[in-house]
Amino acid sequence: MKLTARSVSLVPIVSAFAAAALCTTLVVTATGSVANAATTLGAAAAQSGRYFGTAVAAAKLGDQTYVNLLNTEFNMVTAENEMKWDATEPNRGQFNYSGGDRILNQAVSTGKRVRGHALLWYQQEPGWAQRMEGSDLRQAMMNHVTQVATHYKGKVYAWDVVNEAFADGGGGGRRDSNLQRTGNDWIEAAFRAARAADPGAKLCYNDYNTDGVNPKSTGIYNMVRDFKSRGVPIDCVGFQSHLSGNPPGDYQANLQRFADLGVEVQITELDIAGNNQANAYGAVTKACMAVRACAGITTWGIRDTDSWRSGENPLLFTGSGAKKPAYNAVLDALNAGGPGPTTTTTTTTTTTTTTTTTSNNPGPGDCTASVSLNQWDGGFVATIKVTAGSSALSGWRVTTTLSGGTVTSSWSANRSGNNGSITWSNVDYNANVPAGGSTEFGFQGTGNGTGLNPSCSAS
Protein backbone atom coordinates (compact mmCIF):
# COMPACT_ATOMS: atom_id res chain seq x y z
CA MET A 1 0.00 0.00 0.00
CA LYS A 2 1.45 3.42 -0.93
CA LEU A 3 1.48 5.78 2.02
CA THR A 4 2.14 8.65 -0.36
CA ALA A 5 -1.25 8.15 -1.98
CA ARG A 6 -3.54 6.82 0.73
CA SER A 7 -3.00 4.80 3.88
CA VAL A 8 -6.21 3.06 4.82
CA SER A 9 -7.08 -0.38 6.03
CA LEU A 10 -9.16 -1.94 3.30
CA VAL A 11 -11.87 -4.10 4.77
CA PRO A 12 -12.56 -6.37 1.82
CA ILE A 13 -12.16 -3.18 0.23
CA VAL A 14 -14.31 -0.87 1.72
CA SER A 15 -17.92 -1.22 2.37
CA ALA A 16 -16.59 0.09 3.79
CA PHE A 17 -18.01 32.87 9.79
CA ALA A 18 -19.20 32.75 8.73
CA ALA A 19 -18.95 33.30 5.04
CA ALA A 20 -21.33 36.14 5.67
CA ALA A 21 -18.30 37.90 7.07
CA LEU A 22 -17.11 38.45 3.59
CA CYS A 23 -20.01 38.68 1.33
CA THR A 24 -23.32 39.49 -0.13
CA THR A 25 -24.79 36.19 -1.29
CA LEU A 26 -26.66 35.47 -4.46
CA VAL A 27 -28.50 32.16 -4.14
CA VAL A 28 -28.86 30.07 -7.24
CA THR A 29 -30.92 26.90 -7.13
CA ALA A 30 -29.66 24.32 -9.58
CA THR A 31 -32.00 22.54 -11.89
CA GLY A 32 -32.02 18.94 -12.95
CA SER A 33 -31.63 17.45 -16.41
CA VAL A 34 -30.99 19.41 -19.56
CA ALA A 35 -32.11 18.90 -23.12
CA ASN A 36 -28.65 18.29 -24.57
CA ALA A 37 -26.47 15.87 -22.64
CA ALA A 38 -23.03 17.10 -21.60
CA THR A 39 -20.03 15.23 -22.97
CA THR A 40 -17.57 15.62 -20.07
CA LEU A 41 -17.83 14.68 -16.41
CA GLY A 42 -17.40 18.18 -15.04
CA ALA A 43 -19.93 19.71 -17.42
CA ALA A 44 -22.44 16.95 -16.74
CA ALA A 45 -22.12 17.41 -12.98
CA ALA A 46 -22.42 21.19 -13.30
CA GLN A 47 -25.88 20.83 -14.83
CA SER A 48 -27.25 20.00 -11.39
CA GLY A 49 -25.00 22.40 -9.49
CA ARG A 50 -22.49 19.71 -8.56
CA TYR A 51 -18.83 19.10 -9.30
CA PHE A 52 -16.88 16.11 -10.57
CA GLY A 53 -13.25 16.25 -9.52
CA THR A 54 -10.06 14.27 -9.23
CA ALA A 55 -6.94 14.03 -7.08
CA VAL A 56 -3.85 15.47 -8.74
CA ALA A 57 -0.13 14.92 -8.18
CA ALA A 58 2.13 17.85 -9.00
CA ALA A 59 4.81 15.52 -10.39
CA LYS A 60 2.41 14.37 -13.13
CA LEU A 61 1.60 17.83 -14.45
CA GLY A 62 4.30 17.32 -17.08
CA ASP A 63 2.45 14.32 -18.52
CA GLN A 64 0.47 15.66 -21.48
CA THR A 65 -2.11 12.85 -21.55
CA TYR A 66 -2.70 13.33 -17.83
CA VAL A 67 -3.04 17.11 -18.16
CA ASN A 68 -5.34 16.88 -21.17
CA LEU A 69 -7.76 14.64 -19.26
CA LEU A 70 -7.51 16.86 -16.19
CA ASN A 71 -8.22 20.02 -18.18
CA THR A 72 -11.07 18.51 -20.18
CA GLU A 73 -13.01 16.25 -17.85
CA PHE A 74 -12.96 17.72 -14.33
CA ASN A 75 -14.08 20.90 -12.61
CA MET A 76 -12.68 20.28 -9.10
CA VAL A 77 -9.15 19.38 -8.00
CA THR A 78 -7.73 17.87 -4.81
CA ALA A 79 -3.99 17.75 -4.16
CA GLU A 80 -3.00 14.15 -3.46
CA ASN A 81 -0.18 14.90 -1.03
CA GLU A 82 1.07 18.43 -1.62
CA MET A 83 -1.13 20.16 0.98
CA LYS A 84 -0.62 17.60 3.76
CA TRP A 85 1.32 18.38 6.91
CA ASP A 86 4.60 16.70 5.93
CA ALA A 87 4.64 18.57 2.62
CA THR A 88 3.64 22.02 3.87
CA GLU A 89 5.59 22.18 7.15
CA PRO A 90 8.62 19.87 6.81
CA ASN A 91 10.33 21.67 9.70
CA ARG A 92 8.49 23.26 12.57
CA GLY A 93 7.52 26.80 11.70
CA GLN A 94 9.06 26.56 8.21
CA PHE A 95 6.37 26.28 5.55
CA ASN A 96 6.67 25.14 1.94
CA TYR A 97 3.68 25.66 -0.33
CA SER A 98 5.40 25.10 -3.66
CA GLY A 99 3.70 21.82 -4.57
CA GLY A 100 0.27 22.87 -3.34
CA ASP A 101 0.54 26.23 -5.07
CA ARG A 102 1.51 24.56 -8.33
CA ILE A 103 -1.61 22.41 -8.27
CA LEU A 104 -3.82 25.30 -7.20
CA ASN A 105 -2.48 27.64 -9.88
CA GLN A 106 -2.90 25.04 -12.59
CA ALA A 107 -6.49 24.41 -11.48
CA VAL A 108 -7.44 28.06 -11.24
CA SER A 109 -5.88 28.85 -14.61
CA THR A 110 -8.25 26.35 -16.23
CA GLY A 111 -11.36 27.48 -14.36
CA LYS A 112 -11.44 24.76 -11.70
CA ARG A 113 -12.04 24.93 -7.97
CA VAL A 114 -9.86 23.26 -5.34
CA ARG A 115 -10.53 21.09 -2.29
CA GLY A 116 -7.82 21.39 0.36
CA HIS A 117 -6.59 18.03 1.71
CA ALA A 118 -5.79 17.64 4.58
CA LEU A 119 -4.91 19.92 7.47
CA LEU A 120 -4.58 17.27 10.21
CA TRP A 121 -4.09 13.54 9.73
CA TYR A 122 -2.37 11.05 12.00
CA GLN A 123 -0.49 9.73 8.95
CA GLN A 124 1.99 11.78 6.93
CA GLU A 125 2.90 13.95 9.88
CA PRO A 126 6.38 15.42 9.47
CA GLY A 127 9.03 13.63 11.50
CA TRP A 128 9.31 16.43 14.02
CA ALA A 129 5.59 16.23 14.85
CA GLN A 130 5.65 12.44 15.15
CA ARG A 131 8.04 12.83 18.08
CA MET A 132 5.81 15.35 19.91
CA GLU A 133 2.96 14.94 22.35
CA GLY A 134 0.74 16.80 24.79
CA SER A 135 0.48 20.57 24.94
CA ASP A 136 3.48 21.15 22.69
CA LEU A 137 1.92 19.07 19.92
CA ARG A 138 -1.45 20.75 20.42
CA GLN A 139 0.08 24.16 19.95
CA ALA A 140 1.97 22.97 16.86
CA MET A 141 -1.24 21.46 15.42
CA MET A 142 -3.25 24.62 15.87
CA ASN A 143 -0.48 26.77 14.44
CA HIS A 144 -0.26 24.48 11.41
CA VAL A 145 -4.01 24.70 10.76
CA THR A 146 -3.94 28.47 11.12
CA GLN A 147 -0.90 29.04 8.92
CA VAL A 148 -1.89 26.74 6.06
CA ALA A 149 -5.55 27.79 5.99
CA THR A 150 -4.44 31.43 6.07
CA HIS A 151 -2.05 30.89 3.16
CA TYR A 152 -4.90 29.47 1.06
CA LYS A 153 -7.55 31.84 2.39
CA GLY A 154 -10.10 32.67 -0.29
CA LYS A 155 -8.49 30.22 -2.74
CA VAL A 156 -10.02 26.86 -1.81
CA TYR A 157 -13.62 25.73 -1.92
CA ALA A 158 -13.34 23.37 1.06
CA TRP A 159 -10.84 21.86 3.49
CA ASP A 160 -10.62 18.35 4.82
CA VAL A 161 -9.80 19.82 8.22
CA VAL A 162 -9.42 16.44 9.94
CA ASN A 163 -8.86 13.14 8.16
CA GLU A 164 -9.43 9.59 9.44
CA ALA A 165 -9.74 10.26 13.17
CA PHE A 166 -12.15 7.38 13.90
CA ALA A 167 -11.10 3.78 14.54
CA ASP A 168 -12.10 0.76 12.52
CA GLY A 169 -13.95 -2.03 14.28
CA GLY A 170 -17.20 -2.25 16.17
CA GLY A 171 -16.83 0.48 18.78
CA GLY A 172 -17.43 3.62 16.75
CA GLY A 173 -14.84 5.51 18.78
CA ARG A 174 -11.82 7.64 18.07
CA ARG A 175 -8.57 6.27 16.69
CA ASP A 176 -5.67 6.28 19.13
CA SER A 177 -3.01 8.66 17.80
CA ASN A 178 -0.69 11.33 19.10
CA LEU A 179 -3.26 13.87 17.88
CA GLN A 180 -6.05 12.25 19.87
CA ARG A 181 -3.87 12.11 22.98
CA THR A 182 -3.66 15.92 23.03
CA GLY A 183 -7.27 15.92 24.26
CA ASN A 184 -10.65 14.75 22.99
CA ASP A 185 -11.53 18.29 21.89
CA TRP A 186 -8.76 18.40 19.29
CA ILE A 187 -11.07 17.97 16.31
CA GLU A 188 -13.34 20.77 17.51
CA ALA A 189 -10.33 23.02 18.13
CA ALA A 190 -9.03 22.33 14.62
CA PHE A 191 -12.37 23.25 13.02
CA ARG A 192 -12.58 26.47 15.01
CA ALA A 193 -9.03 27.43 14.07
CA ALA A 194 -9.73 26.71 10.40
CA ARG A 195 -12.90 28.84 10.47
CA ALA A 196 -10.99 31.73 12.03
CA ALA A 197 -8.24 31.47 9.42
CA ASP A 198 -10.54 31.18 6.39
CA PRO A 199 -14.19 32.04 7.10
CA GLY A 200 -15.17 31.45 3.47
CA ALA A 201 -14.01 27.84 3.05
CA LYS A 202 -16.31 24.88 3.69
CA LEU A 203 -14.92 22.78 6.52
CA CYS A 204 -15.17 18.98 6.18
CA TYR A 205 -14.47 15.87 8.19
CA ASN A 206 -13.19 13.05 5.93
CA ASP A 207 -12.93 9.27 6.51
CA TYR A 208 -13.03 5.78 4.95
CA ASN A 209 -15.04 2.61 5.70
CA THR A 210 -18.01 4.88 6.33
CA ASP A 211 -19.99 4.19 3.17
CA GLY A 212 -22.84 2.36 4.87
CA VAL A 213 -24.59 2.68 8.21
CA ASN A 214 -22.08 0.98 10.53
CA PRO A 215 -20.52 1.66 13.95
CA LYS A 216 -17.74 3.82 12.48
CA SER A 217 -20.04 6.00 10.37
CA THR A 218 -22.44 6.25 13.31
CA GLY A 219 -19.64 7.45 15.57
CA ILE A 220 -18.88 10.19 13.06
CA TYR A 221 -22.59 10.93 12.69
CA ASN A 222 -22.86 11.45 16.46
CA MET A 223 -19.86 13.79 16.43
CA VAL A 224 -21.33 15.87 13.60
CA ARG A 225 -24.72 16.02 15.33
CA ASP A 226 -23.00 17.22 18.53
CA PHE A 227 -20.95 19.80 16.63
CA LYS A 228 -24.05 21.17 14.89
CA SER A 229 -25.94 21.40 18.19
CA ARG A 230 -23.13 23.42 19.82
CA GLY A 231 -22.25 25.69 16.92
CA VAL A 232 -18.92 24.07 16.10
CA PRO A 233 -18.19 25.13 12.49
CA ILE A 234 -18.57 22.01 10.36
CA ASP A 235 -20.04 22.31 6.86
CA CYS A 236 -19.47 18.96 5.17
CA VAL A 237 -18.59 15.30 5.61
CA GLY A 238 -16.41 13.43 3.13
CA PHE A 239 -16.95 9.76 2.29
CA GLN A 240 -13.81 8.35 0.69
CA SER A 241 -15.54 5.36 -0.94
CA HIS A 242 -12.59 3.12 -1.76
CA LEU A 243 -14.73 0.20 -2.92
CA SER A 244 -14.56 -3.26 -4.43
CA GLY A 245 -17.77 -3.84 -6.32
CA ASN A 246 -21.11 -2.23 -5.58
CA PRO A 247 -21.53 0.20 -2.70
CA PRO A 248 -23.41 -1.02 0.38
CA GLY A 249 -27.17 -1.26 -0.02
CA ASP A 250 -27.66 1.59 2.46
CA TYR A 251 -25.10 3.88 0.78
CA GLN A 252 -27.67 6.49 -0.26
CA ALA A 253 -29.50 6.28 3.07
CA ASN A 254 -26.23 6.88 4.87
CA LEU A 255 -25.47 9.98 2.79
CA GLN A 256 -29.00 11.21 3.45
CA ARG A 257 -28.85 10.82 7.23
CA PHE A 258 -25.76 13.03 7.33
CA ALA A 259 -27.41 15.52 4.97
CA ASP A 260 -30.36 15.65 7.35
CA LEU A 261 -28.00 17.03 10.01
CA GLY A 262 -27.55 20.12 7.84
CA VAL A 263 -24.15 19.39 6.30
CA GLU A 264 -23.05 18.88 2.72
CA VAL A 265 -21.97 15.36 1.82
CA GLN A 266 -19.12 14.84 -0.61
CA ILE A 267 -17.69 11.66 -2.14
CA THR A 268 -14.03 12.51 -1.82
CA GLU A 269 -11.70 9.67 -2.92
CA LEU A 270 -13.74 7.36 -5.12
CA ASP A 271 -12.11 4.35 -6.72
CA ILE A 272 -13.77 0.99 -7.42
CA ALA A 273 -12.12 -2.32 -8.25
CA GLY A 274 -13.82 -5.52 -9.36
CA ASN A 275 -15.58 -7.04 -12.34
CA ASN A 276 -18.79 -5.07 -11.85
CA GLN A 277 -17.05 -1.71 -12.06
CA ALA A 278 -19.40 0.13 -14.43
CA ASN A 279 -22.51 -0.80 -12.44
CA ALA A 280 -20.80 0.11 -9.19
CA TYR A 281 -19.68 3.53 -10.44
CA GLY A 282 -23.15 4.16 -11.79
CA ALA A 283 -24.73 3.23 -8.46
CA VAL A 284 -22.48 5.58 -6.50
CA THR A 285 -23.17 8.45 -8.89
CA LYS A 286 -26.92 7.85 -8.82
CA ALA A 287 -26.86 7.84 -5.01
CA CYS A 288 -25.14 11.22 -4.97
CA MET A 289 -27.60 12.60 -7.52
CA ALA A 290 -30.51 11.40 -5.37
CA VAL A 291 -29.29 13.27 -2.27
CA ARG A 292 -29.81 16.99 -2.73
CA ALA A 293 -27.00 17.90 -0.34
CA CYS A 294 -24.44 15.74 -2.18
CA ALA A 295 -22.22 18.46 -3.60
CA GLY A 296 -20.04 16.33 -5.83
CA ILE A 297 -17.71 13.40 -6.45
CA THR A 298 -13.92 13.22 -6.60
CA THR A 299 -12.02 10.20 -7.95
CA TRP A 300 -8.66 9.45 -6.35
CA GLY A 301 -6.63 9.76 -9.52
CA ILE A 302 -7.34 10.00 -13.25
CA ARG A 303 -5.98 6.88 -14.97
CA ASP A 304 -5.58 3.36 -13.62
CA THR A 305 -1.81 3.81 -13.73
CA ASP A 306 -2.09 6.90 -11.51
CA SER A 307 -3.97 5.08 -8.76
CA TRP A 308 -2.57 3.95 -5.41
CA ARG A 309 -4.46 0.74 -6.28
CA SER A 310 -2.99 0.56 -9.77
CA GLY A 311 -2.90 -3.25 -9.83
CA GLU A 312 -6.70 -3.27 -9.50
CA ASN A 313 -7.44 -0.79 -12.33
CA PRO A 314 -10.00 1.10 -10.22
CA LEU A 315 -10.43 4.38 -12.13
CA LEU A 316 -12.37 5.71 -15.14
CA PHE A 317 -9.54 5.88 -17.67
CA THR A 318 -6.96 3.32 -18.80
CA GLY A 319 -3.26 4.04 -18.55
CA SER A 320 -3.31 5.32 -22.13
CA GLY A 321 -6.18 7.69 -21.31
CA ALA A 322 -8.99 5.73 -22.96
CA LYS A 323 -12.47 5.95 -21.44
CA LYS A 324 -13.67 2.79 -19.74
CA PRO A 325 -17.27 1.51 -19.51
CA ALA A 326 -17.36 2.91 -15.97
CA TYR A 327 -16.79 6.38 -17.43
CA ASN A 328 -19.91 6.05 -19.57
CA ALA A 329 -21.93 4.81 -16.58
CA VAL A 330 -20.93 7.89 -14.58
CA LEU A 331 -21.55 10.30 -17.44
CA ASP A 332 -25.01 8.83 -18.06
CA ALA A 333 -25.92 9.10 -14.37
CA LEU A 334 -24.74 12.71 -14.21
CA ASN A 335 -26.67 13.63 -17.34
CA ALA A 336 -29.82 11.98 -15.98
CA GLY A 337 -29.87 14.81 -13.47
CA GLY A 338 -31.48 15.20 -10.10
CA PRO A 339 -32.04 18.17 -7.83
CA GLY A 340 -28.73 19.58 -6.78
CA PRO A 341 -27.53 21.48 -3.75
CA THR A 342 -28.33 25.14 -3.43
CA THR A 343 -25.14 26.78 -4.55
CA THR A 344 -23.96 30.23 -3.64
CA THR A 345 -22.04 32.79 -5.58
CA THR A 346 -20.30 35.17 -3.23
CA THR A 347 -19.22 38.67 -4.03
CA THR A 348 -16.80 40.34 -1.69
CA THR A 349 -18.03 43.66 -0.36
CA THR A 350 -16.39 44.95 2.79
CA THR A 351 -14.29 43.30 5.44
CA THR A 352 -12.72 45.51 8.06
CA THR A 353 -9.50 44.20 9.55
CA THR A 354 -7.88 46.18 12.31
CA THR A 355 -5.05 45.40 14.69
CA THR A 356 -4.70 47.07 18.05
CA THR A 357 -1.85 46.32 20.44
CA THR A 358 -1.83 47.11 24.14
CA SER A 359 0.85 49.43 25.41
CA ASN A 360 1.75 47.80 28.70
CA ASN A 361 5.36 47.19 27.51
CA PRO A 362 5.92 43.71 28.90
CA GLY A 363 8.73 43.14 31.35
CA PRO A 364 9.91 39.91 32.94
CA GLY A 365 6.98 37.53 33.39
CA ASP A 366 4.53 39.92 31.70
CA CYS A 367 2.79 39.92 28.34
CA THR A 368 0.98 41.98 25.74
CA ALA A 369 -2.14 41.19 23.72
CA SER A 370 -3.13 42.32 20.23
CA VAL A 371 -6.32 41.75 18.26
CA SER A 372 -6.98 41.11 14.56
CA LEU A 373 -10.64 41.81 13.85
CA ASN A 374 -12.72 40.73 10.85
CA GLN A 375 -15.93 42.76 11.08
CA TRP A 376 -19.00 42.60 8.86
CA ASP A 377 -22.55 43.83 9.04
CA GLY A 378 -23.96 42.01 12.05
CA GLY A 379 -20.96 40.00 13.23
CA PHE A 380 -17.23 39.58 13.65
CA VAL A 381 -14.36 37.20 14.30
CA ALA A 382 -11.56 38.30 16.64
CA THR A 383 -8.17 36.64 16.94
CA ILE A 384 -6.14 37.61 20.01
CA LYS A 385 -2.37 37.14 20.05
CA VAL A 386 -0.72 36.82 23.45
CA THR A 387 3.01 37.65 23.40
CA ALA A 388 5.37 36.97 26.29
CA GLY A 389 7.87 39.55 27.51
CA SER A 390 11.49 38.87 28.37
CA SER A 391 10.55 35.88 30.52
CA ALA A 392 8.50 32.82 29.67
CA LEU A 393 4.86 32.57 30.73
CA SER A 394 3.42 29.60 32.60
CA GLY A 395 -0.09 31.04 32.35
CA TRP A 396 -1.82 34.19 31.12
CA ARG A 397 -5.02 36.19 31.45
CA VAL A 398 -6.50 38.64 28.93
CA THR A 399 -9.32 41.14 29.48
CA THR A 400 -11.37 42.54 26.60
CA THR A 401 -14.22 45.03 26.48
CA LEU A 402 -17.10 44.16 24.17
CA SER A 403 -19.69 46.92 24.38
CA GLY A 404 -21.54 46.51 21.07
CA GLY A 405 -21.84 42.76 20.64
CA THR A 406 -22.09 39.30 22.17
CA VAL A 407 -19.69 36.36 21.99
CA THR A 408 -21.32 33.30 20.43
CA SER A 409 -18.36 30.88 20.37
CA SER A 410 -14.68 30.81 21.27
CA TRP A 411 -11.65 28.53 21.02
CA SER A 412 -8.25 27.96 22.65
CA ALA A 413 -9.14 29.90 25.81
CA ASN A 414 -11.38 29.74 28.85
CA ARG A 415 -13.94 32.54 28.97
CA SER A 416 -15.80 34.39 31.71
CA GLY A 417 -18.71 36.40 30.30
CA ASN A 418 -20.19 37.01 26.84
CA ASN A 419 -20.18 40.81 26.65
CA GLY A 420 -19.01 43.86 28.53
CA SER A 421 -15.80 43.09 30.38
CA ILE A 422 -14.75 39.55 29.42
CA THR A 423 -11.87 37.65 31.00
CA TRP A 424 -9.98 35.02 29.01
CA SER A 425 -7.39 32.60 30.37
CA ASN A 426 -5.15 29.95 28.92
CA VAL A 427 -6.15 26.33 28.43
CA ASP A 428 -3.73 23.52 29.19
CA TYR A 429 -2.03 23.38 25.82
CA ASN A 430 -1.22 27.09 25.44
CA ALA A 431 -0.31 28.11 28.99
CA ASN A 432 3.45 27.93 28.44
CA VAL A 433 4.74 30.65 26.13
CA PRO A 434 8.51 31.10 25.73
CA ALA A 435 10.12 34.50 26.22
CA GLY A 436 9.29 36.65 23.22
CA GLY A 437 7.00 33.94 21.86
CA SER A 438 3.27 34.07 21.28
CA THR A 439 0.08 32.03 21.21
CA GLU A 440 -3.42 32.81 19.94
CA PHE A 441 -7.05 32.32 20.83
CA GLY A 442 -10.17 33.56 19.12
CA PHE A 443 -13.89 34.11 19.26
CA GLN A 444 -16.87 34.84 17.05
CA GLY A 445 -19.72 37.17 17.92
CA THR A 446 -22.75 39.07 16.78
CA GLY A 447 -22.92 42.85 16.66
CA ASN A 448 -19.90 45.13 16.64
CA GLY A 449 -16.49 43.89 17.82
CA THR A 450 -14.60 47.16 17.65
CA GLY A 451 -13.05 48.62 20.78
CA LEU A 452 -11.98 45.32 22.35
CA ASN A 453 -8.80 46.93 23.76
CA PRO A 454 -7.24 43.71 25.09
CA SER A 455 -4.87 43.81 28.04
CA CYS A 456 -2.72 40.91 29.19
CA SER A 457 -1.18 39.81 32.48
CA ALA A 458 0.73 36.75 33.58
CA SER A 459 -1.10 34.36 35.87
> Per-residue DSSP letters for 66-85?
HHHHHHHH-SEEEESSTTSH
Instruction: Give the pairing of strands 404-411 and 438-448.
Output: antiparallel
Phi, psi of 208 (to 5 degrees): -120, 170
**Residue 80 is which amino acid?**
E
Q: Determine contact, residues 315/56, Cβ cutoff 8 Å.
A: no
Q: Which residues of 123-158 are buried (b: 16+ CB within 10 A; e: fewer)?
A: bbbbeebeebeebebbbbbbbbbbbbbebbeebbbb
Q: 73, 125, 188, 269: which is the annotated catalytic residue?
A: 269
Q: Determine contact, residues 6/308, Cβ cutoff 8 Å.
A: yes
Q: Is 164 a catalytic residue?
A: yes
Strand partners for 450: none
Q: Is 269 a catalytic residue?
A: yes
For 200, other C-beta atoms within 10 Å of its C-beta total 19
> Per-residue DSSP letters for 409-430?
EEESSEEE-SSEEEEEE--GGG
Measured between alpha carbons, how far is residue 336 from residues 210, 285, 289 in Å?
26, 10, 9
Q: 80, 89, 164, 188: which is the annotated catalytic residue?
A: 164
Q: Which residues are catalytic?
A: 164, 269
